[in-house]
Structure formats: structure tokens, C-alpha cells
């Protein structure tokens, strides 16, 4: 499928905007989100809807979503059968934003301030297909997360073909053509914003300062962030496999002279180097090469297995609000 960038209308004002919000144990904070989103969007010239995706929450999040959708038809809900992760929650919300001219993804904890939405819309009206955001600072980020974030973006920019600026976020606006292109991606191990950045399109950035969470605890633990980083890196880069080959060559380049020196010393200079020493040095280096290779290959084989099995990306257990039949 191809898309003509020049076929879009000269003015985008007056269209429909879908807000996609992944929700995981955010029940009490959804009221504040509702108030903030409503105040911001009603001041714009657009029709809008807010799709709340409950990613297997264990609190009253779904009950609150049902309450919000019953009180205001612009709020809709999708409930997953279990926790599939934020990347799939974003994917489901975007795929269910049928008939929208643009989709805006944001978090439920108000660390993606809805007050920034008019700026996203203004850039979109200028002709940008993707309007992403860069987080300048976070009020409650721990030192470990800050250091991990810097390391992640350094590796991604250094060893992948993604244009991924440091501290970029999932808080972004996607034009309809971007949404349609995204729907063609079927991979199960995905980094949502990585796929979007991989597409290209006409893109710009807006900076913002993230406030502290309105309430509750972050859904992403250090372990989940680490797992996401590993999946993202191996999804967009073959560098680890190349490094394994380079490591093997480096070890061979070091091993051969060392073994040669041991042989010369033993035969010509009377050094008493035992056969066990030869075997130990050589065998240790071989084991290191094999373990590195197996470790890297297992990551990629795991991705291949996930794609070959071809399970659904997510399962919607229930819906709240009024949905079109096409949704």
C-alpha cells in the first residue's frame, strides 16, 4: 500500500483526533486524566475521542473506565485478557482509532502533560506527519533509571539505523498515513516508538518537562525497562551478532601469538610449560567464544520463534463505550 503525501487537505482543522492511553493500575488517577484531557481538547477545533486500554490492571481501572465511558461517549475502553505490556496497549489503541485524522499517544499518569497537545496539533497543521516529544527532565526519576536511559539511547543511536533522540517518548502525534503504515507491522517483539521512527516520514520534536506522577507507582520497573531495552536493541540492530564474530577474531588474534610464544619458550628457552597449561589457555578462550556466540544467537532465535508462532499481538476481553461496527 502506498500513500500520497500531497493528497492530504490543505487545512486539517475540524477533523477528528483519537487519544490513546495505555492503563495499568491507574484507576484513581483516571479522573484527573479525564478532566485534563477534556479541558484541553474542548478548547481545540477538533472532534475527539479518548481510547483507554486496560493492560490487565489489578485495581479498579476497568471499573473507572466503564464509569467514564458511560458518563461521556467520547471516552472508550478496551480491556485485555491479561497484561500484554505497554507496547501492545499502544498498538491496540492505535489500531482501534478508526476514522481519525490523527492519533495522539500519551500516558495515564499525567507525566505526558495533556496541555502540550495543542502544540502537537499546531505542528501537525504545519504539515508534519509525526510530532514526537523529548522529555527534558523527570521530577521523580531515580539515578539508576537516568543512567540506564542514557546508556540505552547511546547504544541505540550508535549501533542501529534508528534516528532516536535521547529522552524521546511515546507521547507523540501520528498522522493517519503513519497509523495505516503501522497497521502493516506484525512483529510481536516491538518497540512502539522505534517502529514509528524507523518509518521515516516528515517528523519534528517538541520538548517538555515531565511532572511527578499524580499518584500511584510507575508501571515500568527497572527489570521491565531492561527487558524492553534488550528487545528494542536486538529488534533493530545486528551489531551483537557482528560483535560476536569480531570477538572471535580478536580472541584468535590474541590466542595464536600467546600459544606461539608458549611453544617457542617451551622448546627453545627451556620454559617448563605443561601440556595442561596449553590446554587450559586454549580451552578457556574457546569456551568464551562459544558462550558469547550462543548468548547472542539465542536472543535472535527467540525473536524468530516469536514471529514464526504468530500468536495474536493482544486479546481484547471486553469493551466499554460506544464503538463503530468497523472498530
DSSP letter for each residue of 217-237: --S--HHHHHHHHHHHHHHH-
Residue among 195, 189, 133 nearest 160 (CA): 195
User: Dihedral (C-alpha) 309, 310, 313, 316: value to the nearest 10 degrees?
Assistant: -90
> Would you say residue 309 has pLDDT above 70?
no
Say whether pLDDT at 295 is over 70.
Answer: no
* pLDDT tens for each residue of 174-210: 999 999 998 888 777 777 777 888 888 899 999 887 6
DSSP structural state of residue 27: G
> Residue 142 gets which letter from DSSP?
-
- The confidence band for 297, taking pLDDT boundaries of 50, 70 and 90, is confident
Using a pLDDT cut of 90, give the percent of the chain over it. Answer: 34
- Statement: the pTM of the whole predicted model exceeds 0.85: no
**Using the 8-state DSSP alphabet, how is residue 7 labeled?**
G
Amino acid at each position: 500500500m502506498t500513500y500520497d503525501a500531497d493528497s492530504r487537505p490543505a487545512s486539517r482543522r475540524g477533523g477528528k483526533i483519537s487519544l490513546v492511553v495505555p492503563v495499568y493500575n491507574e484507576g484513581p488517577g483516571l479522573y484527573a486524566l479525564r478532566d485534563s484531557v477534556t479541558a484541553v481538547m474542548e478548547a481545540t477545533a477538533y472532534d475527539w475521542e479518548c481510547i483507554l486500554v486496560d493492560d490487565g490492571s489489578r485495581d479498579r481501572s476497568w471499573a473507572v473506565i466503564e464509569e467514564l465511558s458511560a458518563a461521556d461517549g467520547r471516552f472508550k475502553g478496551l480491556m485485555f485478557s491479561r497484561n500484554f505490556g505497554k507496547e501492545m496497549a499502544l498498538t491496540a489503541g492505535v489500531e482501534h482509532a478508526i476514522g481519525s485524522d490523527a492519533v495522539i499517544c500519551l500516558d495515564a499518569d499525567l507525566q505526558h502533560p495533556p496541555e502540550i497537545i495543542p502544540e502537537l496539533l499546531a505542528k501537525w497543521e504545519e504539515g508534519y506527519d509525526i510530532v514526537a516529544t523529548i522529555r527534558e527532565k523527570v521530577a521523580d526519576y531515580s539515578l539508576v533509571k537516568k543512567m540506564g536511559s542514557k546508556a540505552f539511547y547511546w547504544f541505540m543511536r550508535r549501533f542501529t539505523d534508528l534516528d532516536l533522540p535521547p529522552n524521546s517518548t511515546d507521547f507523540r502525534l501520528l498522522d493517519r498515513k503513519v497509523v495505516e503504515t503501522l497497521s502493516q507491522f506484525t512483529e510481536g517483539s516491538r518497540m512502539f516508538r522505534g517502529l514509528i521512527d524507523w518509518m521515516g516520514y516528515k517528523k519534528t520534536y517538541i520538548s517538555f518537562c515531565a511532572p511527578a506522577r499524580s499518584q500511584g507507582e510507575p508501571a515500568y520497573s527497572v527489570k521491565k525497562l531492561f527487558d524492553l531495552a534488550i528487545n528494542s536493541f536486538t529488534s533493530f540492530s545486528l551489531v551483537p551478532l557482528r560483535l560476536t564474530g569480531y570477538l572471535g577474531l580478536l580472541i584468535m588474534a590474541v590466542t595464536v601469538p600467546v600459544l606461539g610464544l608458549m611453544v617457542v619458550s617451551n622448546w627453545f628457552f627451556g620454559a617448563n610449560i605443561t601440556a595442561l597449561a596449553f590446554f587450559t589457555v586454549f580451552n578457556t578462550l574457546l569456551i568464551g567464544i562459544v558462550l558469547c556466540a550462543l548468548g547472542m544467537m539465542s536472543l535472535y532465535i527467540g525473536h524468530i520463534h516469536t514471529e514464526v508462532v504468530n500468536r495474536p499481538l493482544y486479546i481484547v476481553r471486553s469493551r466499554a463505550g460506544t464503538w463503530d461496527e468497523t472498530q
